[in-house]
Structure 1
Amino acid sequence: MCHPGTDAAPGYGRQKSSSLNIHVGVSLRVLIVKTSSFGDLIHTLPAVTDAVKAMPGITFDWVAEEAFVEVPGWHPAVADTIPIALRRWRKNWRRAVASGELSAFFGRLRAHEYDFVIDAQGLLIKSALIARLAKGSCHGLSWGAAREPAASLLYSHRHAIARSQHAIERIRQLFAEVLGYSYDPLRLDYGIGSAHLPSPLDDAGYWVFLHGTTWPTKRLADEQWIALGNIAAAQGHSIYLPWGNAAEKRTAEIIATHCSNARVLPRLSLTELAGILTQARGVIGVDTGLAHLGAALDIPGVTLYSVTFPALTGARGKRQCCVVLGSAPVPSGDMPGLRVASAPVFDAELVWRTAVTALELAGDAEDVG
């Protein structure tokens, strides 16, 4: 079990102490605590890639919410994923204890002595407590950097990572601080191994519309998706519509009813959806985990932002563009793989033109809009 300790100085991919020296020449085993959400797990993958490039032979275990347990295993450096069911357990803790699920989880959590335990989430109960209960040197964000400052009290080592940065960069810097290496911020590699995904479909050239989201304020009106679908149909493109719950399925069916080129997909696992995305011509979606997965897979895409901010959570990739709807602030400055356009209101023609432009993007330096 780790114990509260000291803060590390802020930095950008360089270790500030000699704590790693005893591990030179030794294969390290690291536990990541990043339980949810889907997009947050995707944002953590580049840090794993950085670590592997800097320290060949390093392996990771990962604590993830049961709904997203497939995601860590897409990266070849993740040896084991430990599922946790906090979302389900908190509805009935007594049942979680009586069923033995809770004790089984802690058994797996404490089955190994880790060289480092990294809480990449910064939440008191959801991640910091889990990290503290694991065996190993416990690291996390400092009081001023964590989403829930009290979480920092549970770490043995705390790291001051600036909160004003994109989520991907914050996690990359945290890993580099903990493990003692430098990385190239101009290179972004999610490291998803194609061998972990299903074989591509025979069908090709379709677009995927990602209409589903757990945030009601992120959703587009059905009529807006239908307008996009009809533009795609006029240009001879088919549309695939995934869904994750009954409400999203009804939305997909409404869109398909008004768009002859649209197909409602069956319910699929995240890994199966990843396979669908790998074959897509392009992706248009709201700010949801699947949109960030599309970016990670280097699929051309447009992600629509209405209440969240691309500067902090924008979909990043070589052929991506974020479109900010309304009066939300547009980030200034350069960030590899982040391009942002803006529109005062939703405009289906603008969104489609931006998506087509994304097909043509080849490098990180090109801007859109």
Structure 2
Amino acid sequence: MKPIDLNQAERLLIVKTSSMGDIVHASPVAAALKRAYPHLKIGWVVEDRFTGVLEGSPCIDRLHQIPYQLIYFRTFSRAAWQAFRSLVREIRAERYQVALDLQGLIKSAIWGALGKVPVRLGGHRMREGTWLFMKRLPIPDLPNQHVVLQYLEATRWLGVEQPLPVEFPLFIPEEARQSVRTKLLPLGITAAFVSMNPSAGREWKRWHIANFAELSDRVEAAFGLPVVFVGGPGDKPLEEQLHRLKQHPLRSLIGRTSIKEVMAVVAQSAVHICGDTGTAHLAAAFGVPCVALYGPTNPDRTGPFGQRAHVLYKRPMCRRCPPDRCLRRECLQWITVDEVLQSIADVLQDASTYACSFNS
């Protein structure tokens, strides 16, 4: 296959609808394309629950939002079909010439096809018969190559010179930063702090909540840094458990922040601690030290990308089963509080780490 010359194209559509971490991992593709082709207008199809990750990015000119709750949970309602048709018309109106699908699923492939994009390309993994809707780029699917690098391989076939820097074109408005400072003040936080996210999209990606409670108490005692918890509205039960389990007062913004504000909290942290979840990738994108706790999934492939990410996992102790066929799902729980505390201590050895960007 010959590389496609985008010098002759004016509009390109990226399709990566979910989830937070996957969208962060794919975002350097937009940066690489915009750097190589400044004239190119780049659109992105994304579920509205993750729009905040990409809003304001200097490398994305248009966001096409899928109304997640409406289309996926009220699929056969009149409102869902109206929203669906409206989004299709919106994409068609942009007259994209090339679509790059980095999701590789039916739920992503339909947008380029129904949007009447003439050239539709798929990334390294195409499933669910998506080959019927687009042409697969000849990208090797290497099990231990990070997905950030595999996504960027797609740009090679779009005429972008290699190698190229990995840039995460994410944007945090000053309003979100100021809002976070305001919300942290009643919690007694005016300087360096540690952030923790006890949640994850699936149960087997969650370290026990009692461990997070103990860890936060010990971090505050050992390093004199306040710990603030973040999470979505659906994580309120975890907040209640933390309140019962912690010995020190609970500082929590769980359910009280937008995605942009979560991004601001993570970006201003001295260190971020979490499981296999999207905030790990936000921390890596912002260059914030991160201690991420992994279970069955392969951190070499889908872990936080970059030198400041510290991943703890015990997978070599088990039989390395695929996450979707892992029967016991115990390996994440083999990680001890002592081990995580030691990793945090290693991160904080650099005194400059304490000088978080609270006032930036």
Provide the residue aligned with 2:345 in structure 1: 356
Provide the residue aligned with 2:355 in structure 1: none
Alignment equivalent of 1:264, drawn from 252, 255, 258: 252
Provide the residue aligned with 2:132 in structure 1: 153
CA 1:226–1:65 in 2, change beyond 3 Å: closer, same or farther? same
Moved more, 286-295 or 319-328: 319-328
Alignment equivalent of 1:193, drawn from 148, 171, 174: 171
CA RMSD, 1 decimal: 2.6
1:306 aligns with 2:306: no
TM-score (norm 2): 0.82
Residue 42 of structure 1 contacts residue 292 of structure 1 at CA under 8 Å; is this kept in 2?
yes
Alignment equivalent of 2:85, drawn from 103, 118, 121: 103
1:28 aligns with 2:13: no
CA–CA distance in structure 2, aligned partners of residues 206 and 328 of structure 1? 35
TM-score (norm 1): 0.80
Moved more, 105-114 or 201-210: 201-210
Provide the residue aligned with 1:252 in structure 2: 239
CA 1:36–1:281 in 2, change beyond 3 Å: closer, same or farther? same
SS at match of 2:100: strand
Q: 1:271-309: per-residue Cα shift (whole Å, max 9, x none)?
A: 111111121111000010111111111111111101211
CA–CA distance in structure 1, aligned partners of residues 343 and 242 of structure 2? 21
CA 1:75–1:319 in 2, change beyond 3 Å: closer, same or farther? same
Q: 1:109-149: per-residue Cα shift (whole Å, max 9, x none)?
A: 2111113111111002x11121212233333337xx42415
CA–CA distance in structure 2, aligned partners of residues 223 and 344 of structure 1? 11
Provide the residue aligned with 1:215 in structure 2: 202
Residue 207 of structure 2 contacts residue 333 of structure 2 at CA under 8 Å; is this kept in 1?
no
Alignment equivalent of 2:230, drawn from 234, 242, 246: 242
CA 1:114–1:60 in 2, change beyond 3 Å: closer, same or farther? same
Unaligned segments of structure 1, at least 5 residues: 1-7, 9-15, 331-341, 363-369
Provide the residue aligned with 1:59 in structure 2: 41
CA–CA distance in structure 2, aligned partners of residues 116 and 129 of structure 1? 14
Same amino acid, percent of matched pairs = 24
Q: 1:142-185: per-residue Cα shift (whole Å, max 9, x none)?
A: 7xx42415112211x321222223211121111331x2112325
Task: State the AA in 1 paired with 2:177.
Answer: S
Q: 1:79-116: per-residue Cα shift (whole Å, max 9, x none)?
A: 11111135542333231457621221111121111131
Unaligned segments of structure 2, at least 5 residues: 321-330, 352-360
Residue 210 of structure 1 contacts residue 284 of structure 1 at CA under 8 Å; is this kept in 2?
yes
Moved more, 270-279 or 70-79: 70-79
Residue 304 of structure 1 contacts residue 325 of structure 1 at CA under 8 Å; is this kept in 2?
no
Residue 195 of structure 2 contacts residue 229 of structure 2 at CA under 8 Å; is this kept in 1?
yes
Residue 45 of structure 1 contacts residue 75 of structure 1 at CA under 8 Å; is this kept in 2?
no
CA–CA distance in structure 2, aligned partners of residues 148 and 346 of structure 1? 33
SS at match of 1:117: strand
Matched ranges for 1:334-349 at <5 A: 345-349=334-338
